[in-house]
Amino acid sequence: MKRFQVIRTHISPYQRQEFISDEKAMVEEFPLLNYETLASFKDLKTILVTNTHTQLADIPEDLLKQTVLIIHPNSGYDHFTGEHALWKNIPLVVGHTIRAQAVAEYSIGAVFEGLQELPQHLSWNKDRKWDRTLLKDTPAWVFGYGHIGKVIADTLSVLGMKVTVVDPFIKHCPHKLLPDWRQGNLSEARVIITATSLNQYSRHMFNKEFFDSLSDEVLFINGARGKLVEEKSLKEYLLTHPKSFAFLDVFEKEPFGEDWHGFPQVWKTSHIAGVEKNLDDKILEFEKSVLRDFQELDENEFFAKYEKELLQNKWIKGVLV
């Protein structure tokens, strides 16, 4: 077996106070693995554990040259786009499956909250009216059909919603599929859900042209990436379409500011769609599995097992998908 040092570059504010000590204990269960820090790294082959705050360009050059694996367990990976030259020859395993269900449930929950908020009757309502639209036959457009988008689209379809998937990087799915929203009739959409990664293709995909193509009453849900949306155009649309509503977990600039205070149609959360009660334990389980396989499998076996999780395989014609 080979000896490696494992270095965690950053943690996130939602992680528990004991996470680093728990991670250290997990790593040191393995023979020939040492848990080190960026301040105390040794001259050893290295496995980096990163998150969305990690800029590989800030990693000491000597350490990056020693890095043989990067584990990126629970964050988006679009910030690696400009650093492709630094990681193109280092296997980079993304743990997007960890948070896929959580982000999908955020979006699905927003659909129920936005379309079918339950009324509260403090006394008997004699007219028994409920001005609602059933989910069944409601047109929903899901942008992206990766791990998150698949859960969203498939679940909404089971509920009877008329699902259209917009994704230029896949050829088949069990729903109506468009490579570009302009090839369909966007005015038919009642629900819009983002589930796409951020890249040069998708940045500001939801812009003035997009919002000008919507109907007067739309539920817009963004739990993916803030810079997918040109917020100025979204605000203009909401101001002129009082029946429309938005659930936003991510923003162009975070934390979001007071400029959103004048929008009663917007439900805002603080980039928490992927957070859940057992998240830290799932991160540790994922890391443990990857570390074990990296030690025990030969290179071809490892690459075959993590084919869908390797960032190298998500780099298509200069685009991270």
Q: Are residues 93 and 105 located together in one domain of the fold?
A: no
Q: How many domains does the chain have?
A: 2
Are residues 241 and 143 part of one domain? Answer: yes
Asked whether residue 239 falls in the same domain as residue 289, the answer is no
65 shares its domain with 147: no
Same domain, 90 and 182: no
Give the per-residue pLDDT at 96.
Answer: 86
Contacts of 217 (CB under 8 A, 6+ apart): 190, 241, 243, 244
237 and 104 part of one domain? yes
Q: What is the pLDDT of residue 26?
A: 98
Peptide bond into 255 cis (omega under 30): yes
Place of tokens 């101001």: 239
**Residue 138 within any structural domain of the chain:** yes
Is residue 12 a part of any domain in this protein?
yes
Considering only CA atoms, which of 65, 90, 316, 50 is closest in space to residue 197?
A: 316
pTM of the model: 0.94
Residues 136 and 169 in one domain: yes
> Are both 225 and 263 inside the same structural domain?
yes
pLDDT tens track of the chain, all 321 residues? 678 999 999 999 999 999 999 999 999 999 999 999 999 899 999 999 999 999 999 999 999 999 999 999 988 899 999 999 999 999 999 998 899 999 999 999 999 999 988 889 999 999 999 988 899 989 999 999 999 999 999 999 999 999 999 999 999 999 999 999 999 999 999 999 999 999 998 999 999 999 999 999 999 999 999 999 999 999 999 999 999 999 999 999 999 999 999 999 999 999 999 999 999 999 999 999 999 999 999 999 999 999 999 999 999 888 999
HEC string of the chain equals CCCEEEEECCCCCCCCCCHHHHHHHHHCCCCCEEEECCCCCCCCCEEEECCCCCCHHHCCHHHHHHEEEEEECCCCCHHHHHHHHHHCCCCEEECHHHHHHHHHHHHHHHHHHHHCCCCCCCCCCCCCCCCCCCCCCCEEEEECCCHHHHHHHHHHHHCCCEEEEECCCCCCCCCEEECCHHHCCHHHCCEEEECCCCCCCCCCCECHHHHHCCCCCCEEEECCCHHHECHHHHHHHHHHCCCCEEEECCCCCCCCCHHHCCCCCEEECCCCCCCCCCHHHHHHHHHHHHHHHHHHCCHHHHHHHCCCCEHHHHEECCEEC
Look at residue 36 and tell me if it is in a domain: yes
The domain that holds 141 is classified in CATH as 3.40.50.720
| Domain of residue 86, residue span | 4-97+277-320
Q: How far apart are CA 160 and CA 274, in angstroms?
A: 25
Same domain, residue pair 190 and 263: yes
Residue 263: the pLDDT is: 96
One domain for residues 220 and 110: yes
The answer on 291 and 203 residing in a single domain is no
Residue with tokens 């975070």: 254
In a domain, 235, yes or no: yes
> Are residues 185 and 108 both part of a single domain?
yes
Q: Is there a domain that residue 123 lies in?
A: no
